[in-house]
Amino acid sequence: MQLDKAKKRIAKQVKKGFHGYPLVSLEYFGKTPDLATEVVISFTEEEGAEPQKQTFVSGADAREDETIQSALLKIIERADAKTVTEIDGISVLS
């Protein structure tokens, strides 16, 4: 799948807003606020449930890694997520 296509499909899911559970959340991390080398995707099946997390690491920017973005999209689709959220920006790793 093309990088732009995967990113647009994820963004479309995020823009929909909250529609209940299951919920998938994306958060990007990096050593600087400009380069995301890691992304954590969390899956929460129902309210109050403990989220299941998976981390993807990239040598370059994870937001521009076609393999990672395609994998994130497939996880969202297979989880049949009603809500997808994304934390704005990049959280700096200490």
Instruction: Report pLDDT digits (tens) over 5-37.
Output: 999 999 999 999 999 999 999 999 999 999 999
Average pLDDT, the chain: 95
Distances (CA, A) of 85 to 8, 60, 81, 90, 94: 14, 23, 10, 14, 24
**For residue 43, what are the contacts with CB-CB under 8 A and spacing of at least 6?**
22, 23, 24, 51, 52, 53, 54, 75, 79, 81
Which residue(s) pair with 28 in the sheet? 39, 90
CA 83, CA 24: separation in Å to the nearest integer?
Answer: 6
> How many structural domains does the chain have?
1
What is the arithmetic mean of pLDDT over 41-61? 96
CA 94, CA 77: separation in Å to the nearest integer?
Answer: 32
72 is in which domain, residue-wise?
3-92
